[in-house]
């Protein structure tokens, strides 16, 4: 395809938009790719839509190759299906809710597990119709409390969601692995550097779960990966290998010390001249109401002083959907002391402690008494009662749980990532609730085993920019660049324009997409726009190069001001095709 700049809507701007903070938001706005309509709602302009469609095409090709079938489900959904699985309440304020003129409950679809399950339960009766994998590429809606990062986290976004249905766990595992391999091919073809990480399933439900994290310094997800094996995980779900045991000390007697006006671990450590690793950090959380605790349960979570409590792991250990930090009033009621002086000794509620905290000898912790701490606290001696659970976040330097268990010595390195895809085995989480059953070979009726596989299409547009940009603009990977070549003509003389048109036509014949900047603008303006828009290759034709029957070829990735190549116009189509990896 050939697109002339003078006939295109490409509204580039020089200034950084005031509302934009991260690189992708800034550059997609400045490069004329997107424009904001409202908070978390964006128009994709022609350049942006071409990127979006190219990502969709790669995803669609690999999903079809993996045996999935494309469908299209509605975005406006009756509330009855979410009510059937209790997600009408679970989703809370994130769900866009609508009442029709008759007072019926509807909502805009944030995801489609219920709708696809209903589709399949209506049509599938026998094991002979399974396995089945259905996918769609469609707009989703979530009322994000803080939409940010442009199309990175919006309230309306494009997503590919797929759902597998199998007769048993083994089949579901095969479907999951099939999707895992398809996703690897997708992210590799898109030119993205990524890691597959173990993850928590969250409100979607299910058990086996992995995220495809696009590595970027600006990523909002913290992940850890072993430096020796392929284990990687979101810190919310990362298992942690056994830490080396510290030195053994004779157990001291528990003693109370006065620590006036020092509540934080850093301040108390300085006051007592004790390393923070000797502290038992004790935080109070409230779990939601249950039959056993109709007003909610206040629990204490304890970790070593240099570690952090992982709220998702804590919630999982408690069998709760979520937990939240106790208020100051809750803390004072539960401990009798102000915030900063809580500790497990004498605490009346449930206590959970991480293994590293449980192993501490002569720990320092709050005394449940304002301005006082305890020293010489030992779980092994029974100074307090606690359930030992993995409730802390993994951190750089922690031992790997996989290769360490097999004699290796791997440790975690920390990365930042952007979640681009997420795959789950859901089991019967939805099919059992919605009675999506089939007749098995033995004549029994069984619920289908489901899987769920999502890719944030519009988020990948931003993720690619976060990973591929420099101070001058975007540097698109070839597979998703809106055009392959940015053709710049310097001057509007007939011989320049005729040579440019002939070269553009020759490139298009080879399947190369060309954006021709045919504006009557200064070279500096054109080159700055070319760098900002970020197509993989720039070709420049002007009176000086025409005189030598040449053009100038330069890769967007080449930052050397003199890093261009002069090629003859006759050889240019073949040379450019070779540079793009599109030669015959």
pLDDT in tens, 142-159: 999 889 899 999 999 999
CA distances from 577 to 118, 190, 497, 510, 565 (A): 49, 19, 21, 8, 14
Question: Pick from 371, 388, 405: which residue ends a domain?
Answer: 388
User: Quick one: pLDDT at residue 191?
Assistant: 97
- Residue 159 near residue 456, CB atoms below 8 Å: yes
Q: Does residue 452 lie in a domain region?
A: yes
Residue by residue, what is the 3-state secondary structure of 489-525?
EECCCHHHHHHHHHHHHHHHHCCCCEEEECCCCCHHH
Q: Does residue 401 lie in a domain region?
A: no
User: Quick one: pLDDT at residue 292?
Assistant: 67
Degrees (nearest 5) of the Cα angle 396, 401, 402?
120
User: Quick one: pLDDT at residue 146?
Assistant: 86
Are 183 and 63 part of one and the same domain?
yes
d(CA 534, CA 523): 16
What φ, ψ does residue 104 adopt, rounded to 5°? -75, 145
Which pTM was predicted?
0.85
Q: Does residue 264 lie in a domain region?
A: yes
Question: Pick from 388, 406, 439: which residue ends a domain?
Answer: 388
Could you give the number of structural domains in the chain?
3
- Average the pLDDT over each of 163-172, 193-202, 224-233, 368-377 and give the range with the smallest value: 193-202
Crossing angle (nearest 10°) for helices 46-65 and 457-467 = 110
User: Quick one: pLDDT at residue 202?
Assistant: 52
pLDDT of 295 over the 80 cut? no
Are 284 and 343 part of one and the same domain?
yes
* Four-CA torsion 490, 493, 495, 500, nearest 10 degrees: 40
The percent of residues in the chain predicted with pLDDT above 90, rounded, is 83
d(CA 420, CA 427): 23
Are 286 and 232 part of one and the same domain?
no
Q: Does residue 514 lie in a domain region?
A: yes
Q: Please give the residue range of the domain that contains residue 233.
A: 23-74+109-239+414-465
Model confidence at 207, in pLDDT bands (50, 70, 90)? Answer: low
d(CA 413, CA 36): 37
pLDDT of 349 over the 50 cut? yes
Q: Does residue 68 lie in a domain region?
A: yes
Q: Does residue 96 lie in a domain region?
A: no
Residue by residue, what is the 3-state secondary structure of 302-349?
EEECCCCECHHHHHHHHCCCCCEECCHHHHHHHHCCCCCCCCCCCCCC
User: Quick one: pLDDT at residue 561?
Assistant: 72
CATH number of the domain where residue 540 is located: 3.40.50.800
Are 275 and 383 part of one and the same domain?
yes
pLDDT digits (tens, 9 = 90+) for 66-103: 999 999 999 999 999 999 999 999 899 999 999 999 99
pLDDT of 201 over the 80 cut? no
pLDDT of 124 over the 90 cut? yes
In b/e form, how buried is each residue of 86-106, taking b as 16+ CB within 10 angstroms? ebbeebeeebbeeeeeeeeee
d(CA 61, CA 51): 16
CA distances from 296 to 169, 434, 486 (A): 35, 29, 61
What φ, ψ does residue 533 adopt, rounded to 5°? -65, -40
Are 43 and 123 part of one and the same domain?
yes
Are 382 and 268 part of one and the same domain?
yes
Q: Does residue 371 lie in a domain region?
A: yes
pLDDT of 299 over the 90 cut? yes
- Residue 33 near residue 43, CB atoms below 8 Å: no
Model confidence at 215, in pLDDT bands (50, 70, 90)? Answer: very high
User: Quick one: pLDDT at residue 408?
Assistant: 63
- Average the pLDDT over each of 90-104, 302-316, 400-414, 570-584 and give the range with the smallest value: 400-414
> What stretches of 152-248 adopt beta strand conformation (E)?
156-166, 194-198, 209-215, 221-226, 232-234
pLDDT digits (tens, 9 = 90+) for 301-344: 999 999 999 998 999 899 887 899 999 999 999 999 999 999 99
| Helix ranges (DSSP H) in 377-493 | 457-467
CATH number of the domain where residue 210 is located: 3.30.930.10
Model confidence at 564, in pLDDT bands (50, 70, 90)? Answer: confident
Are 43 and 116 part of one and the same domain?
yes
User: Quick one: pLDDT at residue 204?
Assistant: 45
Are 120 and 187 part of one and the same domain?
yes
Q: Does residue 472 lie in a domain region?
A: no
CATH number of the domain where residue 313 is located: 3.90.960.10
- Mean pLDDT across the chain: 93
User: Quick one: pLDDT at residue 230?
Assistant: 87
Are 304 and 441 part of one and the same domain?
no
Are 259 and 235 part of one and the same domain?
no
Are 43 and 164 part of one and the same domain?
yes
pLDDT digits (tens, 9 = 90+) for 2-24: 999 999 999 999 998 888 889 99
Are 336 and 373 part of one and the same domain?
yes
User: Quick one: pLDDT at residue 200?
Assistant: 63
């Amino acid at each position: 395809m050939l697109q002339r700049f003078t006939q295109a809507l490409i509204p580039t701007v020089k200034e950084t938009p005031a509302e934009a903070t991260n690189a992708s938001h800034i550059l997609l706005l400045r490069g004329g790719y997107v424009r904001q309509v409202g908070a978390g709602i964006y128009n994709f302009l022609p350049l942006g839509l071409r990127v979006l469609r190219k990502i969709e095409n790669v995803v669609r090709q690999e999903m079809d190759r993996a045996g999935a079938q494309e469908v299209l489900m509605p975005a406006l959904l009756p509330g009855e299906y979410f009510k059937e699985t209790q997600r009408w309440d679970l989703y809370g304020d994130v769900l866009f809710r609508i009442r029709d003129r008759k007072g019926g409950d509807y909502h805009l679809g944030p995801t489609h597990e219920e709708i696809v399950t209903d589709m399949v339960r209506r049509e599938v009766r026998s094991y002979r119709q399974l396995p089945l994998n259905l996918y769609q590429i469609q707009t989703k809606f979530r009322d994000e409390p803080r939409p940010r990062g442009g199309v990175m986290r919006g309230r309306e976004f494009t997503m590919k969601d797929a759902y597998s249905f199998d007769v048993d766990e083994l089949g579901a595992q095969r479907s999951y692995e099939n999707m895992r391999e398809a996703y690897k091919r997708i992210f590799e073809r898109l030119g993205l550097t990524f890691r597959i990480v173990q993850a928590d399933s969250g409100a979607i439900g299910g058990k086996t779960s992995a995220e495809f994290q696009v590595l970027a310094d600006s990523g909002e997800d913290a992940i850890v990966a072993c430096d020796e094996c392929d284990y990687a995980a979101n810190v919310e779900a990362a298992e942690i290998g056994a830490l080396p045991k510290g030195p053994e000390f004779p157990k001291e007697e528990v003693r109370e010390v006065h620590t006036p006006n020092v509540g934080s671990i850093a301040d108390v450590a300085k006051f007592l001249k004790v390393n923070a690793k000797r502290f038992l950090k004790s935080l109070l959380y409230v779990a939601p109401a249950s039959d056993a605790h109709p007003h909610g349960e206040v629990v204490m979570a304890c970790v070593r002083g240099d570690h952090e409590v992982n709220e998702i792991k804590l919630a999982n250990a408690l069998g709760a959907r979520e937990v939240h930090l106790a208020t100051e009033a809750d803390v004072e009621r539960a401990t009798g002391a102000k915030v900063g002086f809580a500790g497990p000794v004498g605490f009346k509620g449930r206590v959970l402690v991480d293994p590293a905290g449980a192993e501490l000898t002569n720990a320092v912790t709050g005394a449940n008494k304002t301005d006082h701490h305890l020293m010489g606290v030992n779980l092994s001696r029974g100074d307090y009662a606690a359930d030992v659970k993995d409730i802390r976040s993994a951190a750089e330097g922690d031992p790997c749980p996989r290769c360490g268990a097999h004699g290796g010595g791997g440790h975690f390195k920390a990365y930042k990532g952007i979640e681009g895809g997420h795959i789950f085995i859901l089991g019967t989480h939805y099919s059992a609730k919605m009675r999506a059953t089939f007749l098995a070979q033995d004549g029994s009726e069984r619920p289908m085993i489901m899987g769920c596989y999502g890719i944030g299409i519009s988020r990948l547009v931003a993720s690619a920019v976060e990973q591929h940009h420099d101070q001058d603009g975007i540097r698109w990977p070839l597979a998703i660049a809106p055009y392959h070549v940015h053709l710049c003509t310097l001057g509007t003389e007939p011989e320049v324009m005729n040579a440019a048109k002939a070269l553009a036509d020759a490139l298009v014949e080879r399947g190369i997409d060309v954006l021709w900047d045919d504006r009557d603008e200064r070279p500096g303006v054109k080159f700055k726009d070319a760098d900002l828009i970020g197509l993989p290759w720039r070709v420049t034709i002007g009176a000086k190069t025409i005189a030598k029957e040449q053009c100038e070829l330069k890769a967007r990735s080449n930052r050397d001001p003199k890093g261009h190549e002069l090629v003859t116009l006759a050889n240019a189509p073949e040379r450019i095709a070779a540079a793009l990896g599109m030669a015959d």
